[in-house]
Amino acid sequence: MKRHRIATTISEKRWDLLKKHAKKFETQQKALEMALECLENNSKQYPKLTTEQKFWLACESISSVCCVQKKALKY
């Protein structure tokens, strides 16, 4: 298996998380690889949102949803 080296900086909060999980998975490398695999697996579980779903989520986030039936506006 071909391996690649990476170098990056992370916040103190993420550093603490990495140290915690490195103990569980034995190394930082294994902890990071597991995190990446979980990200990949979880992204497949959630289908993309439809335009309508995005609209309702946006309405909910600004706490201003007013439901009116279309037929009520015709009269």
Query: Looking at the domain assignment, is residue 1 inside a domain?
Result: no
**pLDDT over 90 at 46, yes or no:** no
Structurally, the chain folds into a number of domains equal to 1
| Residue span of the structural domain in which 60 resides | 12-73
Nearest-angstrom CA–CA distance, 69 and 66: 10
Query: Looking at the domain assignment, is residue 18 inside a domain?
Result: yes
**pLDDT over 80 at 4, yes or no:** yes
Query: Looking at the domain assignment, is residue 68 inside a domain?
Result: yes
**What's the whole-number mean pLDDT along residues 9-38?**
91
Query: Looking at the domain assignment, is residue 5 inside a domain?
Result: no
Query: Looking at the domain assignment, is residue 4 inside a domain?
Result: no
Query: Looking at the domain assignment, is residue 21 inside a domain?
Result: yes
Nearest-angstrom CA–CA distance, 38 and 36: 5
pTM given for the model: 0.53
